[in-house]
Structure 1
Amino acid sequence: MTTLPTADSARPTAPGDDRQSKYLRRITWIATLGGLLFGFDTGVINGALPFMAEDLALTPFTEGLVTSSLLFGAAFGAVFGGRLADRYGRRRMIVVLAVVFLLGTLGASFAPDVTVMVLSRFVLGLAVGGASVMVPIFLAELSPAARRGQMVTRNELMIVTGQLLAFITNAFLGNVFGDADGVWRWMLVIATLPAIGLWIGMHFVPESPRWLASIGNFGETLAVLNRIRAHETARTEFDEVKAMAVEDYKAKMGTIKDLSEPWLRRVFIVGLGLAVIQQITGVNSIMYYGTHILDDAGFGTQAALTANIANGVISVAATFVGIWLLGKVGRRPMLITGQVGTTSALLAIGIFSLVLPEGTLRGFVILAFTITFLAFQQGAISPVTWLMLSEIFPLKIRGMGMGVSVFVLWMVNFAVSFSFPILVAAITISNTFFFFAALGVGAILFARRFIPETRDKSLEQLEHEFKEAHAAASQR
């Protein structure tokens, strides 16, 4: 175990010095390139699919398979990514993910047939799933409690920015080079650029101080905190982190057996519920099949590619609003408000898809309600979900809890994305959205009953509060 350095050995920092804040912002932007890749690789299929369908002779079944294979891989990337991040460190594993992103992108871009495409997108999904776990944990463990909401949700901003970039490049390539063979390959290969940027950038950021403490490396823990905090704040936070790490010294060995403790089991169930209710809104039916939905509503393919950019723009704008709101209001009311808004929008999409004849009017009405849906989803539900998943789990099971929860999230995402074209073909698009609206009602009820408030509390405070709440409930 590394010996603890004295206060004099740490780099002194004036309380008003903003160098630490600037350094922390730089770390955040580098790490969230993983979120940008997450967004681009999940969003690019939206516009690439119509061109790919002709080249690879896709049916509704293989169309769903190509789209959802990435999500299936992401589920396993999430569950194993959390465990690997616990064992080998957050920073080191994000560097590995950058390589996997690059390899998966190249495989999909040059895929000669459906089989290679599905396998390549599965590999790409491993990276997407790993990033969806590791980046929020990394940011949560680096951020001060007062800024954790803004720092972690910046990853969500990068996710929707990646999706918007995918929609814009899809629209440009589809409208300008839509008649060229293999234009979808150019849509996919663009993702190699941020993958290379992530690999380079992560060599210039520190490891998570809380992970370093969990393996007993207290000297490096304090050194990292002194680089990202004012000196006195670093010392105070170090004492808190060290005390919790000593209490949970076997954090890296956390397993499913730890859930025999009732309070840990309750936190674990809350995490799983958060994952499910974020996805059963059907958000990714819009993010992955938005072009198809707008085409079906009355736009042509080329016009739908352009109109779909509006979905990306509102996602980015709503995420900015969501990040601002997280500094003003609690996580729980934001989540419930978002669930009410998305469920109402889904109901409206189903109704107007049913009553309006196919044409330009229906196309613009459906576009208006998909924009409304995404405003609530990306402005409230998604940022709160990823933030709370990164902060509710105690250090002892943080990697496992986040990994399993995001595994469930991606599996629900896979089920929604794989079944969407099949459901539309079987029961019509309006009934498909009625189905998602009914699931949304269940999500609202779950959030009201089980989701706790976590705003303005350190990760260590949350752990103590969960323990005390269980002890008080046991006494009652």
Structure 2
Amino acid sequence: MANQVTEKGRTPKAFLRIITLVSTFGGLLFGYDTGVINGALPYMAKPDQLNLTPLTEGLVTSSLLLGAALGAVFGGRLSDRNGRRKNILSLALLFFIAALGCTFSPNAGIMLVFRFLLGLAVGGASVTVPTFLAEMAPVERRGRLVTQNELMIVTGQFLAFALNATIASTLGENDHVWRYMLVVATLPAVVLWFGMLIVPESPRWLAAHGKVGEALRVLQQVREENRAQAELQEIKAAIATESEIQKATMKDLNVPWVRRIVVLGIGIAMSSQLTGVNSIMYYGSEILKEAGFATKAALIGNVANGVISVLATFVGIWLLGKVGRRSMMLWGLTGTTTVLLLIGVFSSLLKGNESLPYVILSLTVTFLAIMQGAIGPVLWVSLSEIFPLRLRGLGMGISVFFLWITNFVIGLLFPILIQKVGLSGTFYAFAAIGVVSIIFIWKTMPETKGRSLEEIESYFRTYDEVHIDQKTAVSK
């Protein structure tokens, strides 16, 4: 069969690349909007601007994260009902409106409202874009295409750090320099909205809603010759199988092995955030200022954090194919906890020393290299692997919700902790939590690499049956 898109001058692979690039602008916006506050905060906090206290600094930062928690919960449901493409178009519009609202906010109250709305868009994008990519990609390229969204997230954060430094260096004397930093986020939102107009709907979603003919036409645009019809049959078979599976509900948490998997998912999600990674991603400039850098120097130094995050993500993707998930997580947590402890030690021993800012910068760069190279990649892969099909929606929803709520709490409390207990005390606390996370992962997380979902389910069932039998024998 002739390729049906040649008349438009593009091959299926080329069209798939366009789809991936356009849709992952949602990930770029996710990264930029979570990272831009890092550089904007020192300027908007000034008395002649929004006059932020440590509490309102935390609220401005974390209101986005609370919105993201809710956006993640409802974003998946809306994309199931309305379609992935329509949902991303709506999110692009919300990104644009919320970014403009933040840019022109006259006070902290209005800023909180629009940061929360921006969070709804971030949370919605965090679940909708990977789902859309997974459903558009052929099976042999699925992993690579989905991880491109993760790469775009850290690229967005890097761009935020780099543009913050550039804008501060050129417009630093302008009272409203932070508004220029925030308004940049409208540009990728425009690209995402117009780009999605030429992108088709997910064939998986179309087939699930009875639009089989449209699903076939989309597959013929993004698959090589003779593959579209065969894949459509596979999609229809999968949909038929799923329709026969009874979906899990909250009542299923009464079953011990189900509850154990969900608790593990929550623990993995929370452990990744309790490293304090986002205290560095959101407050990196404040940390470097606290260590002794001037504001502009802190913004420039913080660019190194963005660069290493991007590079380490490539390494993490490569390591996933070589190393076990459990080993990567344990070694990653051990590394980040050690670095957190060193930040606490050096910020105490070298307080007032001219070398302290450079020591702290080198340690934050090291921390992010370990975090993005080991813990970050394992997080999403493990969450997708530990839940059997019947539990995936419930388990992923609960786990991601706790991830964002943990993120919210850290974003809210970090400025207050810095004020109350200082840089060293704050990072000693993160290091102590890191030790607890290592113990939790070591005791509860099995190795899932190379195991089928059925084998993982069997492991959890067998584990609980053995322990129940042991307890029964002891009681007798």
The CA deviation at 1:402 is 3.2
The CA deviation at 1:251 is 7.6
Matched, 1:443 2:443: no
| Equivalences for residues 45-444 of structure 1 within 5 A | 45-54=37-46, 55-230=49-224, 237-249=231-243, 255-257=249-251, 259=253, 265-390=259-384, 393=387, 398-444=392-438
The amino acid across from 2:411 in the alignment is S
Does structure 2 conserve the Cα–Cα contact (< 8 Å) formed by 1:263 and 1:466? Answer: no
CA RMSD of superposed structures (Å): 2.9
Q: Cα distance 1:262–1:228, how it changes in 2: closer, same or farther (>3 A)?
A: farther
Q: Which moved more, 1:377-386 or 1:262-271?
A: 262-271
Q: Cα distance 1:333–1:137, how it changes in 2: closer, same or farther (>3 A)?
A: farther
Q: Distance in 1 between matches of 2:270 and 2:195?
A: 33
| TM-score normalised per structure 2 | 0.87
Does structure 2 conserve the Cα–Cα contact (< 8 Å) formed by 1:150 and 1:327? Answer: no
Does structure 1 conserve the Cα–Cα contact (< 8 Å) formed by 2:270 and 2:402? Answer: yes
Q: Cα distance 1:384–1:225, how it changes in 2: closer, same or farther (>3 A)?
A: farther
Q: Cα distance 1:343–1:239, how it changes in 2: closer, same or farther (>3 A)?
A: farther
The CA deviation at 1:19 is 4.0
The amino acid across from 1:43 in the alignment is G
Does structure 2 conserve the Cα–Cα contact (< 8 Å) formed by 1:133 and 1:406? Answer: no
The CA deviation at 1:338 is 1.9
Q: Distance in 2 between matches of 1:24 and 1:189?
A: 30
List structure 1 segments (4+ residues) > 6 angstroms apart after TM superposition: 10-13, 250-254
The CA deviation at 1:45 is 0.7
The amino acid across from 1:415 in the alignment is V
Does structure 2 conserve the Cα–Cα contact (< 8 Å) formed by 1:87 and 1:252? Answer: no
Q: Which moved more, 1:399-408 or 1:68-77?
A: 399-408
Give the secondary-structure state (helix, strand or coil) at the position aligned to 1:204. coil
Does structure 2 conserve the Cα–Cα contact (< 8 Å) formed by 1:167 and 1:305? Answer: yes
Q: Cα distance 1:466–1:248, how it changes in 2: closer, same or farther (>3 A)?
A: farther
Q: Distance in 2 between matches of 1:395 and 1:258?
A: 14
Q: Distance in 2 between matches of 1:215 and 1:394?
A: 23
Does structure 2 conserve the Cα–Cα contact (< 8 Å) formed by 1:153 and 1:386? Answer: no
Does structure 2 conserve the Cα–Cα contact (< 8 Å) formed by 1:140 and 1:391? Answer: no
Does structure 1 conserve the Cα–Cα contact (< 8 Å) formed by 2:4 and 2:221? Answer: no
Give the secondary-structure state (helix, strand or coil) at the position aligned to 1:290. helix
The CA deviation at 1:208 is 3.1
The amino acid across from 1:53 in the alignment is A
Q: Distance in 1 between matches of 2:140 and 2:449?
A: 8
The CA deviation at 1:130 is 0.9
Q: Percent identity?
A: 56
Q: Which moved more, 1:322-331 or 1:235-244?
A: 235-244
Q: Cα distance 1:70–1:358, how it changes in 2: closer, same or farther (>3 A)?
A: same
* Equivalent in the alignment of 2:26: 34
The CA deviation at 1:366 is 0.6
Q: Distance in 2 between matches of 1:472 and 1:281?
A: 32
Q: Distance in 2 between matches of 1:27 and 1:97?
A: 16
Give the secondary-structure state (helix, strand or coil) at the position aligned to 1:248. helix
Does structure 1 conserve the Cα–Cα contact (< 8 Å) formed by 2:36 and 2:160? Answer: yes
The CA deviation at 1:247 is 2.3
Does structure 1 conserve the Cα–Cα contact (< 8 Å) formed by 2:3 and 2:11? Answer: no
Measured against aligned partners, the alpha-carbon deviations of 1:418-470 in whole angstroms (never above 9, x if no partner) come to: 1111112222211211111122222223333444555578xxx63x4444445
Q: Distance in 2 between matches of 1:468 and 1:12?
A: 45
Q: Distance in 1 between matches of 2:208 and 2:388?
A: 12
Q: Distance in 2 between matches of 1:165 and 1:294?
A: 19
Q: 5+ unaligned residues in a row in structure 1: which ranges?
A: 1-7
Q: Cα distance 1:82–1:291, how it changes in 2: closer, same or farther (>3 A)?
A: same
Does structure 2 conserve the Cα–Cα contact (< 8 Å) formed by 1:86 and 1:399? Answer: no
The CA deviation at 1:237 is 4.9
Q: Distance in 1 between matches of 2:441 and 2:168?
A: 41
Measured against aligned partners, the alpha-carbon deviations of 1:199-223 in whole angstroms (never above 9, x if no partner) come to: 1222233333443444455554455
Does structure 1 conserve the Cα–Cα contact (< 8 Å) formed by 2:388 and 2:457? Answer: no
Does structure 2 conserve the Cα–Cα contact (< 8 Å) formed by 1:85 and 1:399? Answer: no
Q: Cα distance 1:134–1:473, how it changes in 2: closer, same or farther (>3 A)?
A: same
